[in-house]
Amino acid sequence: MIAALGLVLGIVAGLFLEPTVPTWVQPYLPIAVVAALDAVFGGVRALLDGIFDDRVFVVSFVSNVTVAALIVYLGDQLGVGTQLSTGVVVVLGIRIFANSAAIRRQLFKA
């Protein structure tokens, strides 16, 4: 209950306060979103599997977002930012698909 409240509060704050994102962070926002989605789908799957753990979820979310952004940042510094972000998106995309497939199997038994 409190957790759901936190999610809603976060969305509302993001939409209505419109926090200004520093210019140097802006290129990494999309990749951070993909990483966050991966963590969320992993969390939902774990929930359905009955092995959800708050701490693991939060740590995986934070590290996912940070590492994904860091990889792309490093790539930008090395001049291979586009290729590395493609790699990150491919890896995270496959994981999101696999997790959503597992969620689907759990929910619909199909």
Report the interface residues with other proteins, using CB under 8 A. 2-15, 18-19, 21, 26, 29-30, 32-33, 36, 38-40, 42, 45-46, 49-65, 67, 91, 94-95, 98-99, 102
CB of 16 to other proteins, least distance (A): 9
Cα–Cα distance between 70 and 67 in angstroms, integer?
Answer: 5
For 96, other C-beta atoms within 10 Å of its C-beta total 19
CB of 24 to other proteins, least distance (A): 14
By C-alpha distance, which of 74, 71, 75, 105 is closest to 91?
71
CB of 75 to other proteins, least distance (A): 15
Residue 39 or 81 with smaller CB distance to other proteins: 39
Q: Are 31 and 89 in contact (CB under 8 A)?
A: yes
Q: Which residue has the tokens 């704050």?
A: 13
Residue 36 or 80 with smaller CB distance to other proteins: 36
